[in-house]
Chains A and B, each alone.
Chain A
Amino acid sequence: MEARWGKQIVHTNLLIARITDPALRVQIERAAAIPNSLIVLSDEYIAFPRAMLGVIEKTLARSGHVIKTVQST
């Protein structure tokens, strides 16, 4: 049991985003430079808590980007 513990982790209640523009990703990372507020999962994916969405929306609006939303069904 001890050997298996902590190897499969399911995360809930967070938002995940895919950013295909590296420059935009850098802008968002800078805007969300608060501890425990954003995690880079890969070159294109990030995860962040729900409250951070407002900050990210502002950054997107400033740079003229929009959010394409995919809802889980």
Chain B
Amino acid sequence: MKTRSKSTALKPAPPPDPASLPQRVPPRGPIALAHADVSQLDALHSPCDLRRDLHAFVNYVRDRSVKRAVRGNTLPKADAARLAKLMSAPAAPEEVQRDGSARWIDFVDHIALRLDLVSYDTKGVYAGYTSQEASFPDNHIVVNASKYEQFIGQTLAAQERKLLDLLTEDHRRNDWDSSYNEFYTAGVLGRLERFDIRGAATGVMPSLEFAKTRRFLLEVLAQCEPGVWLSTAALVAYLKAEHPFFLIPQEPRLSERDRMYGRYGNFYEHIGDRWAQGVAVPDDAADGFKRVEGRYVERFLEGATLTLGYVDVAYGESPAKGIHPERGVLQAFRVKSLLARALRGQIEEPAVTVQPNFEVYVQAEVYPARVLMELARFGEVMSSDIVTIVKLHREKVADALARDEKLDLTGLLRRLAGRDLPQNVARELREWTQHSEKFTLYVGFGLLEGDVDLAAADEFTMEQIKPGIRLVRSAEELYGRLEQLAAMPLLVKHADTALHPLPPGARTVFPIPAPAAPKPGEKPAVTLQRETTVTLHFPSEAVLEEFRGALLEVRCSFEVNKGLRTITYAGRHEGQVAAVVKALGQKYRIAVADLG
């Protein structure tokens, strides 16, 4: 056995030489592996649904303004607690309560970011010269709406492929990172110990092609008998016999510096204490394949495959007690038929059935986000599993129809179901459509009470409520227009809390307050409304006519008395009159003197 203790400087790996890479030819036929008895094992069927929780996460951050923590860039505890209730991980609420975060929620957050469904700062800023770590001030999560629409607009098979590719790709956190793989990093649902990170950047590690290895193993699993528990040891034995170089090439490509590591020289086992001095697995060890590739296979099974629900796994006691990282613990696995269909792009679109009791059954192998998002607007999700049941509600349907006049719910349901709706449902939907139009609220409009044939108001009129009352747009602009036409309009701006009473004499359907009856012995109250008018006296009829013409041009309301050579106007038109005086000032020297 050889030991390695010296550290090695991290350098990005050069591109691999194709000749030195392992030949991974996927098996063409079924693989017969020994069945496993899991009665004494701890079987794990993942309760988490990544597809569903991704949408729960995106919808949550879209509806709320989520600002990440300044220190650590984590989700705030309050948001994590709410997300825990929305997501499928049963342990998440307790985990958040205890630790302030939950692995599953952080994982979903991470996947949403890598899928580009959301965005936020991941680099941060160093607040000061002595800062030990980056800060993330005002780091809000933003939903990339177009990317999200694009994602859920794809077929379920394409969505699944995208998730599968993402979880199996060779993801590195930076150019020097070779540790983001099953050997060193635990999957979100993984339980097994990992290798010591000390060997992560040395030996064969930087040259290994994990993405191709994972896809090859998925192909192998897809050829295994589905639905029965199979022995992991049998799978490792099969790989050793048929594909011994599926992970590490026969002739590993090693740099001059790393040649001393050999094939397994950077995989350290710790005897007794997990943190004891590591001992590298010898290249010539008879069980070297089990100790390195075997450990990889175990960790692969509890990685992306378990996360995506393609396998169930069963854990037992380690046969080699006291050796770390443990091996032989994940003793059995059960492949689901979903895996083969996901790999072949054969996941079918959801089957939608509308029942006469207004329940819509949506049957899908994976979470049908698009269909459920559409249906959730019209009803309540009663149960969510392989078959999701959405009960249509009259209020929700009416509300959706009220918001979107062009919505054709019957057509939408018919398109989703691929057949006509039950007759009673179609009939009710028609009635619900009418129901949505029973109360129409006009916001930002005004009312005009006036002459029936007021042509100037026609272009502002939205509805003729009854002769003499119109629903109008841009009410204040209409008022200005009527003023210009000398129609003597009255502008009533109502208070937010009550309708403003109109003055006596107005022609209106609005209330005009009657004078309050005086109490016995009390003097009656009288309110006098005051308006100031101005009368201009002209020295000659010619000047009067010229002035009158100018006032008409600026559409000012006034009265003329030719006998007395006077023009009388309301005080509020002073501005228009002043403009006319100024204009005529070019022709006359005009002075205005008040009569004694």
| Of B436, B492, B509, the contact of A66 (CB 8 Å cutoff) | B436
Number of interface residues of A (CB under 8 A): 46
Whole-angstrom CA separation of A6 from B462 in the bound complex: 22
Check B475–A66 contact: CB distance below 8 A: no
Q: Which of A9, A18, A37 contacts B442 (CB 8 A)?
A: A18
Q: In the complex, A17→B445 CA distance in Å?
A: 10
A60 to B241, CA, bound (A): 73
With both chains docked as a complex, state the minimum distance between the C-beta of B402 and any C-beta of chain A, in angstroms. 4
CB contacts between A and B, total, < 8 Å: 192
Distance in angstroms from A70 CB to nearest chain B CB is 5
Please classify how large the interface on chain B is, using the bins under 10, 10 to 19, 20 to 34, 35 or more.
35 or more
With both beta carbons as reference points, the residue of chain B lying nearest to A7 in the complex is identified as B507
Instruction: State whether A10 touches B446 (Cβ < 8 A).
Output: yes
**Are the CB atoms of B489 and A36 closer together than 8 Å?**
no
B439 and A17: CB pair below 8 A? yes
Q: Are A51 and B490 interface neighbours, CB within 8 A?
A: no
A-side contacts of B448, CB under 8 Å? 8-11
A65 near B439 (CB under 8 angstroms)?
yes
A50 touches B496 (CB 8 A): yes
Q: At the interface, yes or no: A4 with Cβ under 8 Å from chain B? A: yes
Q: How far is the CB of B62 from chain A (nearest CB, A)?
A: 22
Q: Contacts of B403 on A, CB cut-off 8 Å?
A: 68-69
Tell whether, in the assembled complex, residue B505 and residue A48 are in contact, meaning their CB atoms are under 8 Å apart: no
Separation of A37 and B436 alpha carbons in the complex (Å): 25
Asked whether B496 lies within 8 Å of A49 as measured between CB atoms, the reply is yes
Contact with B along A1-29 (1 / 0, CB 8 A): 10011111111111111111100100000
Q: Are B557 and A39 neighbours in the complex by a CB distance under 8 Å?
A: no
Q: How far is the CB of B98 from chain A (nearest CB, A)?
A: 40
- Residues of chain B from 386 to 443 with CB closer than 8 A to chain A in the complex: 394-395, 398-399, 401-403, 435-443
- Greatest chain A CB density within 10 A among B403, B446, B482, B493 is at B446
B508 neighbours in A (Cβ, 8 Å): 6, 9
* 7 residue pairs, one from A and one from B, having the closest CB atoms: A72-B444, A68-B402, A8-B450, A6-B506, A4-B488, A11-B447, A8-B489
17 contacts between A and B (CB under 8 A): A6-B490, A8-B454, A8-B482, A9-B449, A9-B490, A10-B489, A11-B492, A14-B446, A14-B494, A15-B441, A15-B443, A42-B465, A45-B466, A49-B495, A51-B497, A53-B441, A68-B440
Q: Besides A15-B442, A47-B499, A67-B439, 7 other CB < 8 A contacts?
A: A7-B488, A8-B487, A9-B489, A12-B493, A16-B471, A69-B440, A73-B473
User: Which residues of chain B have a CB within 8 Å of any CB of chain A?
Assistant: 394-395, 398-399, 401-403, 435-451, 454, 462-463, 465-466, 469, 471-476, 478-479, 482, 486-499, 501-503, 505-511, 557, 559, 570
